[in-house]
Structure 1
Amino acid sequence: MRRLGSVQQKIACVFQTEVKEEQSRKRDGQPFQVVAMESLNPVALEADVDGALATEKLDGTCCYVAVYKGQPHLWARLDRKTNKQADRRFKKYRHAHRSSKGFTWNVEEDFKTVPETWIAAHGVKHVNGQPAPDEHGHIPGWVPVEKDNKQYCWHSSVVDHQQGAALVLRPAVDDEDLLEVAAVPLAELLEETLELIGTSVNGNPYGLGSKKQPLHCLVSHGSVRIRNPPPVDVQQLQAWFQESPEGRVEGIVWHCSDGTLLKVHCHHLGLRWPDGSPSLSGRPLVVRVASTVDEYISGDGTKDLFTLLSRLNGRRFKRLQDVQLDS
């Protein structure tokens, strides 16, 4: 069976959309809002979205596992963005034409520099050997997570590159109702994309950890399945998000049999997120991190997240958000 997390292509909205010139409900500083229309995206019809596997869209930051310096390594999402001058020119063009189609970029001059280790995401088009921006003027990509880079300290907390392991939240193999957090070999996650969620990511909608003792983990894309998804219809989806306990999610990602990925999130339908306690936060959890504490003590002797979770090995919690770490 295809590993659902091993996808990096751009995900289209399952509905046709229109762009409204108003502040985005999802992204700070984005001066437009993408709104779902009643009609399905033709891509969704062609891919038979009605027969697709529906999974939970998680609210965090995207990561990628790939080889770096000869070893499996965690990479953080870093889009190459425009400089101020090019951004003004782009916004002016889009406002005048109500579309970005036909706008011409000079990648070398219009975009901010990125680290030498930066790589473009799979699926990014290249023109004359240069990665080309998408319709929003971004070039999606990745940078390897380095322990001494404070910008990615929360990414670093969920991975031990020396031991080749990552802290992953996933449904238990023997009980899909039960979540587990486990130390998973990075080699098993190669070419997968995952979502980093936790205390210091996107306002912590899942209520993980605390300021005193932050808690973060990775979730493989496509691993949290929605068992009874509503029909792919705007009105029925709106009702599901608002009324169903299972609908307390940021959105849905459909995995179609031909590999196509389609999504919808609350903001597309004019709904708030988060609005109440997310369904993921209320699911029961078991900790399955090796109890051999010495294996996970960091080089400077501090009590890292692997060590703290290993002290809870085998413990069950009624809800994910009930997990508290001892300092």
Structure 2
Amino acid sequence: MRRLGSVQQKIPCVFLTEVKEEQSRKRESQQFQVVATVNVNPIALEANIDSALATEKLDGTCSYVSIYKEQPYLWARLDRKPTKQACKRFKKHLCSQKSGNDFTWNVVEDFKRVPETWVPAHGVQHHDRQPVPDEHGHIPGWVPVEKDDKQYCWHSSVVDYDAKLGLVLRPSAQDEDVLEISMVPLADLLEQTLELIGTNVNGNPYGMGSKKRPVHVLVAHGSVHIRNPPPVDYGQLTTWFRDSQEGRVEGIVWHCNDGTLVKLHRHHLGLKWPDCDTFLNTRPVVIHTDGVLQKYDNTSNDLFTSFAQIHGHHFSRLRDIQFDH
């Protein structure tokens, strides 16, 4: 299977969008929302969207596997954002010009500090050796996740740097209808972006784990395919999201043959998320950690030990996963 696009930048909507001055359905603090029009985005048309691979957009936080300290490491998404004063200037400019593309930034003074280990995402433009903010006033980037970093404790729970493994949810190679949780070598995930989902991420729409026993996993972007997706038509997509079981997803990301990525979120169509149970929770799950059980014994209470001890167990859905102790 071809390697799908890495999510390094904000992905454009498959339709042209417009801003409405009403309470956002996605963010409580946002007094406007971005909605789709019926017109297909020219970017999608140029990339031949009709032949693209449709994949499920999962509701989590974006992560990335790349080399740090001479070994594969998990990186967390951290966008550099403007200071309060710079943000006020930028919003004033947006109100008058309706676009942020021609706003003049002073990257050194206008942006909040980031850790020394921070790196800009691939594709970020540079000027005079400084990264250039995007049209939203952000500079997408990454920071490496250290083992004992409290700020990124849920990220660090899904990687074992000593064993060089990551906890990954993916469709089973034997049956795509079945999901599989495996311990995958981080080297196999190099230069991929993945979504961290689970108990303490974005309100846990997939109902995974509990406060007492939180469960988190990584899902490689593009790995969960949407079979028989509707055509890229506003009406047909709205009906699919609203009325079909397969449409109980946060959104769709299309991977075009030329590498272009475009997306559609339920909120673009004015639809609620999450709404009832998710389609991801209709699929059975098998735990496959064969070959690593000897490393993880009863002396540890981490996720790797817990999953190693239920190797081979089947569950009817993600929210049903339970550990024996």
Q: Same fold (TM over 0.5)?
A: yes
User: CA-to-partner distance for each residue in 1:188-216, whole Å, 9 max, x for gaps?
Assistant: 00000000000000000000001110000
Q: Say whether residues 1:309 and 2:307 are aligned partners.
A: yes
| Structure 1 position 107, deviation (Å) | 0.6
User: Where does 1:58-77 land on structure 2 (aligned, <5 Å)?
Assistant: 58-77=58-77
Q: Are 1:291 and 1:311, in contact at CA under 8 Å, matched by a contact in 2?
A: no
What amino acid maps onto 1:285 in structure 2? Answer: V
Q: CA RMSD in A?
A: 1.5
- Structure 1 residue 253, shift from structure 2 partner: 0.4
Within 2, Cα distance between the matches of 1:161 and 1:27?
35
| Corresponding residue for residue 231 of structure 2 | 231
Report what 1:25 is aligned to: 25
> Match of 1:313, SS?
coil
Cα deviation, residue 326, structure 1? 3.5
Deviations 1:292-321 (A, max 9, x none): 4451469xx531100001111000111121
Match of 1:173 in 2: 173
State the distance in 2 between where 1:119 and 1:287 align. Answer: 34
Correspondence 1:81 to 2:84: no
Q: 1:275 maps to what in 2?
A: 275
1:263 matches 2:260: no
Distance 1:288 1:272, change over 3 A: same
Could you say if the C-alpha distance between residues 193 and 249 of structure 1 is closer, same or farther in structure 2, counting changes exceeding 3 Å?
Answer: same
Secondary structure of residue in 2 paired with 1:12 = coil
1:116 to 1:297, Cα distance in 2 relative to 1, 3 A? farther
Q: What CA deviation, in whole Å up to 9, does each residue of 1:59-100 have, x standing for no partner?
A: 000000000010000000001011111111111221222332
Secondary structure class of the residue paired with 1:246: coil
> C-alpha displacement at 1:5, in angstroms?
5.5
Task: Return closer, same or farther for 1:163/1:4 CA change in 2, 3 Å cut-off.
Answer: same
Q: TM-score, normalised by structure 1?
A: 0.96
- CA displacement at 1:28 relative to structure 2: 4.3
**1:189 corresponding residue in structure 2:** 189
Structure 2 residue 322 is matched with structure 1 residue 324: yes
Distance in 1 (CA, whole Å) between partners of 2:186 and 2:174 is 22
* Between 5-14 and 98-107, the greater mean CA deviation after superposition: 5-14
Secondary structure at the counterpart of residue 236 of structure 1: helix
Q: How far apart, in 1, do the equivalents of 2:19 and 2:297 lie? A: 49
* Alpha-carbon distance change, 81 to 307 in structure 1, aligned in 2, over 3 angstroms: same
| C-alpha distance 309-291 of structure 1, shift in aligned 2 (>3 A) | farther
Amino acid at match of 1:53: L
Query: Cα distance, 1:102 vs. partner?
Result: 2.1
1:146 equivalent in structure 2: 146
Q: TM-score, normalised by structure 2?
A: 0.96
Give unpaired runs (5+ residues) of structure 2.
Answer: none
Q: 2: distance between equivalents of 1:181 and 1:280?
A: 13
Residue 178 of structure 2: SS of its match in structure 1?
Answer: strand
Once the two structures are superposed, residues 152-177 of structure 1 have per-residue CA deviations (whole angstroms, 9 ceiling, x without a partner) of 00001100011100000000001000
Q: Distance in 2 between matches of 1:271 and 1:7?
A: 24
Matched residue type, 2:109: E
Judge conservation of contact 1:57–1:253 (CA < 8 Å) in 2.
yes
One-letter amino acid matched to 1:169: L
SS in 1 for 2:45: helix
Go from structure 1 to structure 2 and tell me whether the alpha carbon gap of 1:111 and 1:309 turns closer, same or farther (over 3 Å shift). same
Identity %: 66
SS in structure 1 of the partner of residue 25 of structure 2 = coil
